[in-house]
Amino acid sequence: MPDTPLSTSAPSAPAAPPADSALSVRDLQVGYGSYVLMRHVSFEVRKGDIFFIMGGSGCGKSTLLHVLMGLKRPQAGKEFFGKVDFWDGTEAQRRQAMRHAGVLFQSGALWSSMTLAENVGLPLQQYTDLDDDEIRELASLKLALVGLAGFEDFYPSEISGGMSKRAGLARALALDPQILFLDEPSAGLDPVSSNLLDELIQELRDTLGATFVIVSHELASIFSIATNGIFLDVKTRTVTAKGNPRELAENPHTQKDALLFLTRGGKNPLGPQACSPASAPAAGATAAGAPGAASPETRAKDENA
């Protein structure tokens, strides 16, 4: 891997984040050791946004997400959670800030030896003083929220890929987060399950007022639910496009590689115009269409079909 010298440009003093900011990133630089993956990354995530981090494979999306969620220190730059300067504080302060964040890793990572209820209950066990019965009850509630009512005692090996993703989301929701970081939530899902997951994300945003930061290259999801986003360019190692992906895809002035990405190399059979506007409620995002309407038996059968 070619080495790139660390940036020497000193960022100017950042202005305070806007009042409705959920996450504010200023001139961030991320990488490993002295190797720089991305530099001068700046963006605002507003409360209630479904914000997509886009870019080709290997450009550094997961790495950036790890920095945003406090698992990895940036090489330079600022990150604000609301008004809190995240990396300027102590480890304890970062933990406290992350108490209001939920995380779904790219690998999903449910514990195979634990039931779904135990998996979802794990953060509650770690971060609250609730007793076992209360944890079980809350875990059931979270599972119901993602359409997995009745699956409390199933093991990860007994459910489908789509259900695993939703169980992971239930675990991310365990501590009632204000902001959720999801890494490739719909990777490996069939289009119908992927669409259901999109609707669920939109519903959670609408009902819980949560903010989502999502890494994905699923164009159908991006055009369907994104309210805002950035494109990370592997060649120039920085953000080359920002904004609502639908608008970016329709704007001929969007940077070339971002446009190629958003139009699948200029051959996107869907096109942003083929998808419902992100602001409109997704079709079927109602109680009837929402996961959870089916019994565990029916749903397991449907999803494994």
Ligand X SMILES: Nc1ncnc2c1ncn2[C@@H]1O[C@H](COP(=O)(O)OP(=O)(O)OP(=O)(O)O)[C@@H](O)[C@H]1O
Q: For Mg ion, give the closer residue by CB, 61 or 142.
A: 61
Stretch that binds ligand X, among 51-59, 143-151, 270-278, 296-304 (CB under 6 A): 51-59
Nearest to 142 by CA among 159, 162, 120, 157: 120
The single residue among 26, 39, 61, 205 that binds ligand X, judged by CB under 6 A, is 61
Q: Does 60 bind ligand X (CB under 6 A)?
A: yes
Q: With CB under 6 A as the rule, give the number of residues binding ligand X.
A: 11
Q: How far is the CB of 57 from ligand X (least distance, A)?
A: 4
The single residue among 36, 45, 59, 222 that binds ligand X, judged by CB under 6 A, is 59
Q: For ligand X, give the closer residue by CB, 59 or 189.
A: 59
Strands 84-85 and 76-81: antiparallel
Task: Please give the helix or strand (H or E) that residue 212 lies within, else none.
Answer: strand 211-215
Stretch that binds Mg ion, among 12-20, 60-68, 196-204, 258-266 (CB under 5 A): 60-68
Task: Please give the helix or strand (H or E) that residue 176 lies within, else none.
Answer: none
Structure tokens at 215: 């890494």
Segment 94 to 153, residues that bind ligand X, using CB under 6 A: 106
d(CA 49, CA 205): 8
Q: Does 62 bind Mg ion (CB under 5 A)?
A: yes
Question: Whose CB is nearest to Mg ion?
Answer: 62
Q: How far is the CB of 62 from Mg ion (least distance, A)?
A: 3
Close Cβ partners of 251 (under 8 Å, ≥ 6 residues apart): none
Close Cβ partners of 211 (under 8 Å, ≥ 6 residues apart): 22, 23, 45, 46, 47, 48, 49, 50, 51, 178, 179, 180, 205
Stretch that binds ligand X, among 19-27, 60-68, 140-148, 166-174 (CB under 6 A): 60-68
Nearest to 226 by CA among 279, 300, 163: 279
Q: Does 63 bind ligand X (CB under 6 A)?
A: yes
Residue with tokens 């997704």: 282
Amino acid in position 136:
R
Q: How far is the CB of 41 from Mg ion (least distance, A)?
A: 15
- Contact (CB, 8 A) for 76 and 60: no
Q: Does 72 bind Mg ion (CB under 5 A)?
A: no
Q: Does 2 bind ligand X (CB under 6 A)?
A: no
Residue with tokens 């190797």: 35
Structure tokens at 21: 């900011």
Q: For ligand X, give the closer residue by CB, 106 or 251.
A: 106
Q: How far is the CB of 141 from ligand X (least distance, A)?
A: 32
Question: Using CB under 6 A as the criterion, which residues of the chain lie in contact with ligand X when the complex forms?
Answer: 32, 37, 55, 57-63, 106
Question: Using CB under 5 A as the criterion, which residues of the chain lie in contact with Mg ion when the complex forms?
Answer: 62
